[in-house]
Amino acid sequence: MTLTMREAFGRKLAALGRTRPDLVVLDADVSSSSRSLHFAAEHPGRFFNVGVAEANLVDVAGGLATCGFHPVVNAFAIFLALKAADQVRNVLCYNRLPVVLAGTYAGLSDSFDGASHQSIADVAILRGLPNLTVVVPADNAGAEAALEAALDADGPVYVRLNRNEVPDLPPAREPFALGRIRSWRDGGDLTIAACGICVALALAAAERLARIGVQAEVLEIATIKPLDGDALAARVARTGKLVVAEEHSVIGGLAGACAEALAERVPFLMETVGIRDTFTESGPYGELLEKYGISAGEIERRSLALLVKSQAMAT
């Protein structure tokens, strides 16, 4: 059976604890959700459960980091981004402390808990903080690789994690690295950029588009900040058309980051796939994704709309 992304991350964390004595893990009373319980069971002396107190959670990690430890902080993504924003900014980012922020249950993946728990603005909130690296892995292998890379970084890194089982991507043509944009599919008609589960959805959409003769390239932008704007611009310069897909608000996330980077570099047309600036609701994960337009079908529709728009502007 496929593991949930949080389970894969939690097991990787416990495994890394065996070879990294400087690794310490903190949780805010959600270790059975974040799956940091595996680390807690295996390395109890290096695990700190601070209760439901995200602000304290992040600053305790900051204090540990000033003394040579490498903390991984686990909490629900939206509570980390909102309740500990001051601590992430003023302690971790300002001082460039090597702390990994594992924001779990991100996007709509905490589906049944509803809008209070769903994290659709975390990237927008955190992306504005200097010195913070923001990473959105696409599958379990990506989440594990992001954790290892984040632990080797010299500053704070936010890793956005899905609660559920997510589709595994095909074997990668190039390895995961912080800051690297990975191409999963070639195509000259338009560019689709995605992060998280939307990479798999974009690949599915590209297959459907290919059936009607449209060749879309699919880029995975796991590191939303710092975004490799030159690499993205080089791709988009060839197609002139970009669809950005993310399990996040269309405001301030990957779409915003891409628009900011490209607007200074190349002319392009753009469509976005994401949550349209609204609160979401409870329900089965798959149904919510469909309802709020996070789907291969929606990526396909937006891609076709972009082609039509492009042709109209050309004539």
Partner 1 sequence: MTFPPQALLAETDPRRQAAMTSALARRIRLEMLDILHRKGTGHWGGAASACELLTALYFLRMKVDPARPRDPDRDRLVLSKGHASLLLYAVLAHRGFFSPELLGTFRDADSNLQGHPCMRKTPGVDMSTGALGHGLSVGLGMALAAQLAGKRFWTYVVVGEGCLDEGQTWEAAMAAAKFRPERLALLVDHNKVQLDGPSDLIMPLGSIARKLDAFGWNVAPGAHDGHDPAAIMETFRWLDGPGPWPRAVIYDTVKGKGVSFMEGQSKWHGAPVDDAGWAQARPELTAALAEAEALL
- The answer to the question of residue 251 lying near partner 1 (CB under 8 A) is no
Q: Would you count residue 269 as binding partner 1 (CB under 8 A)?
A: no
**Is position 180 an interface residue for partner 1 (rule: CB under 8 A)?**
no
Q: Which is nearer to partner 1, 84 or 193 (CB)?
A: 84
CB 216 within 8 A of CB 193: no
- State the minimum distance, in angstroms, from the CB of residue 72 to partner 1: 13
Q: Which of 90, 183, 215, 282 binds partner 1 (CB under 8 A)?
A: 90
Q: Does 63 bind partner 1 (CB under 8 A)?
A: yes
**Binds partner 1 (CB under 8 A): choice among 18, 32, 41, 66:** 66
* Residue 19 is a binding residue for partner 1 (CB under 8 A): no
List 13, 25, 37, 64, residue binding partner 1 (CB under 8 A): 64
Q: Does 53 bind partner 1 (CB under 8 A)?
A: yes
Q: Which of 9, 14, 31, 59 binds partner 1 (CB under 8 A)?
A: 59
3-state secondary structure 25-72: EEECCCHHHHCCHHHHHHCHHHEEECCCCHHHHHHHHHHHHHCCCEEE
Cβ–Cβ under 8 Å, residues 48 and 25: yes
Q: List phi, psi (to 5°) of 288.
A: -65, -45
Contact between 82 and partner 1 by CB under 8 A: the answer reads no
Contact between 67 and partner 1 by CB under 8 A: the answer reads: yes
Of the two residues 90 and 215, which places its CB atom closer to partner 1 in the complex?
Answer: 90
Interaction of residue 215 with partner 1, rule CB under 8 A: no
Q: CB of 199 within 8 A of CB of 287?
A: no
Q: Look at residues 251, 252, 190, 184 and name the one whose alpha carbon lies nearest to residue 221.
A: 184
**Residue 48 engages partner 1 in binding (rule: CB under 8 A):** yes
Q: Which of 2, 18, 86, 278 is close enough to bind partner 1 by CB under 8 A? A: 86
Least separation in angstroms between residue 83's CB and partner 1 is 10
Q: Taking CB under 8 A as the criterion, which residues in 96-135 touch partner 1?
A: 96
Nearer to partner 1, 13 or 244 (CB): 13
Q: Return the range that interacts with partner 1 (CB under 8 A); candidates 50-58, 116-124, 267-275, 279-287.
A: 50-58
Nearer CB in complex with partner 1: 100/190: 100
* CA-based nearest residue to 83, from 110, 103, 108, 107: 103
If binding is defined by CB under 8 A, does position 62 make contact with partner 1? yes
In terms of Cβ atoms closer than 10 Å to its own Cβ (0-12, 13-18, 19+), residue 265 is middle
Nearest approach, Cβ of residue 41 and partner 1 (Å): 18
Nearer to partner 1, 63 or 170 (CB): 63
- Interface residue with partner 1 among 20, 42, 94, 231 (CB under 8 A) is 94
Per CB under 8 A, residues contacting partner 1 are: 24, 45-46, 48, 50-51, 53, 55-56, 58-69, 86-87, 90-91, 94-96
